[in-house]
Structure 1
Amino acid sequence: MARLLLFNKPFGVLSQFTDRGSPTERATLSDFIAAKSVYPAGRLDRDSEGLLLLTDDGRLQARIAEPRFKLPKTYLVQVEGDPQDGDLEPLRKGVRLKDGLTLPAEALRIDPPDLWPRDPPIRVRKSVPDSWLRITIREGRNRQVRRMTAAVGLPTLRLVRWSIGDWTVAGIAPGAFVEISI
């Protein structure tokens, strides 16, 4: 049976177990997970939070991480600005980035979600409104959601991966994980 860990990666933590060659010590998965023989299935940027899956099964890891399987990944994204429905249409059609056109995303404006506080908190500017979006993508380019929102004039302030396929971070505290068998 395959092991699968659903980890709520805090802000500032690397999606790897070591930080070789860094002159400063940065937090890694080994600061939170002592489980043996599990490896991240994909990545989540250091400045992003939320669901990171780890497994001991190579096939499962590939199915989760490989873009060709197009497993949906849903993000809760706090952006600068006050987008209306039409402003999100480019995200829904695909956005031209330096590495090509993205696949269409599901993008919806949402009420501010009930999330854990981020440490450190995001910067707040009284003269610039912010909003929350729920964005689902089916590919996994480097910093893709951040680049997509920036390309449509909505810079990302906070990015939380909420789910991958049917797996979700709901109910898992930052820095904690839940282990399931598949």
Structure 2
Amino acid sequence: MAALILFNKPFRVLSQFSDREPGNPESPALEPRQTLANFLRAPGFRVAGRLDHDSEGLLLLTDDGHLQQHIANPRHKLWKTYWVQVEGVADDATIARLENGIKLKDGPTLPARVRPIPEPAGLWPRDPPVRQRLTVPDSWLEISIREGRNRQVRRMTAAVNLPTLRLIRYRIGDWNLEGLEPGQHRRLTVHSPERKPAPLRGKPPVRSRRKQP
């Protein structure tokens, strides 16, 4: 069994327990930012799949290394679902482009699941609020992907001329945000994924054939 923490990460909170300058683990950042340590104590837990500083929503932490890899590694193909507020309104052709794969600088994306949705019911206000233009409408999309590229959803919507205004991760695999306000967390006990034996490397040893006396 493994311990799992479901955390609703607020806007502009780092997905780590300390704020350090990039590339220098001994030096604090010039302007300290909020981290996970501002909201929970979880010694021995590690983040399984990061969430950007300017994104909100579901962040998973576990004390089991195998479960962490199972959640974070794209080869396990866990679907991650996002609520995305975009500038503009997606038509059917735009949704089809997002679903079929977008060509990004680091290669085409895998097929996604995309559908327009109303603003999610009971959604908490963001602090600070999203800046909106009076002359340009905004809308919401639900986007599910199986990859974990850097800022992938934002780059996908930008590629179809729908800049992301707000990004909330609602679900990872079977886990979701239900019942969690920003900054709140819930602890679960789950089964650790079955460990598969490591493949043999090289040729197996040759057994000598001894003649029977």
Q: Same fold (TM over 0.5)?
A: yes
Rounded to whole Å, the distance in 2 between the matches of 1:68 and 1:111 is: 32
Runs of 4+ that moved beyond 3 A: none
> Which position in structure 2 is the counterpart of 1:23?
30
Deviation track 1:112-144 (CA, whole Å, cap 9, x = no partner) reads 112111111000111000000000000110000
In the TM superposition, residue 90 of structure 1 has moved relative to its aligned partner by 0.8
Deviation track 1:130-164 (CA, whole Å, cap 9, x = no partner) reads 00000000011000000000001100000000000
Rounded to whole Å, the distance in 1 between the matches of 2:43 and 2:78 is: 26
In the TM superposition, residue 13 of structure 1 has moved relative to its aligned partner by 0.2
What pairs with 1:161-176 in structure 2 (closer than 5 Å)? Answer: 161-176=169-184
> Which position in structure 2 is the counterpart of 1:149?
157
2:87 aligned to 77, 80, 88, which one? 80
Q: Which has the larger radius of gyration?
A: 2
**Are the equivalent residues in 2 in contact too, given 1:48–1:158 (CA < 8 A)?**
yes
SS in structure 2 of the partner of residue 16 of structure 1: coil
1:67 matches 2:74: yes
**Are the equivalent residues in 2 in contact too, given 1:149–1:156 (CA < 8 A)?**
yes
> Which position in structure 2 is the counterpart of 1:55?
62
The aligned amino acid for 2:16 is: Q
1:39 aligned to 38, 42, 46, which one? 46
Rounded to whole Å, the distance in 2 between the matches of 1:92 and 1:20 is: 37
Rounded to whole Å, the distance in 1 between the matches of 2:60 and 2:88 is: 31
Rounded to whole Å, the distance in 2 between the matches of 1:35 and 1:98 is: 37
1:12 matches 2:12: yes
SS in structure 2 of the partner of residue 103 of structure 1: coil
1:108 matches 2:115: yes
The aligned amino acid for 1:168 is: N
TM-score by length of 1: 0.98
The aligned amino acid for 2:85 is: Q
Aligned length: 182
In the TM superposition, residue 7 of structure 1 has moved relative to its aligned partner by 0.2
In the TM superposition, residue 84 of structure 1 has moved relative to its aligned partner by 1.5
SS in structure 2 of the partner of residue 18 of structure 1: coil
Rounded to whole Å, the distance in 2 between the matches of 1:91 and 1:82 is: 13
In the TM superposition, residue 170 of structure 1 has moved relative to its aligned partner by 1.4
Deviates further, 152-161 or 20-29? 20-29
The aligned amino acid for 1:105 is: A
TM-score by length of 2: 0.84
Deviation track 1:30-79 (CA, whole Å, cap 9, x = no partner) reads 11111211110010000000000000000000000001111000000000
Rounded to whole Å, the distance in 1 between the matches of 2:94 and 2:182 is: 32
CA RMSD of aligned residues (A): 0.7
> Which position in structure 1 is the counterpart of 2:98?
91
Rounded to whole Å, the distance in 1 between the matches of 2:33 and 2:161 is: 31
Rounded to whole Å, the distance in 2 between the matches of 1:35 and 1:23 is: 25
The aligned amino acid for 2:124 is: W
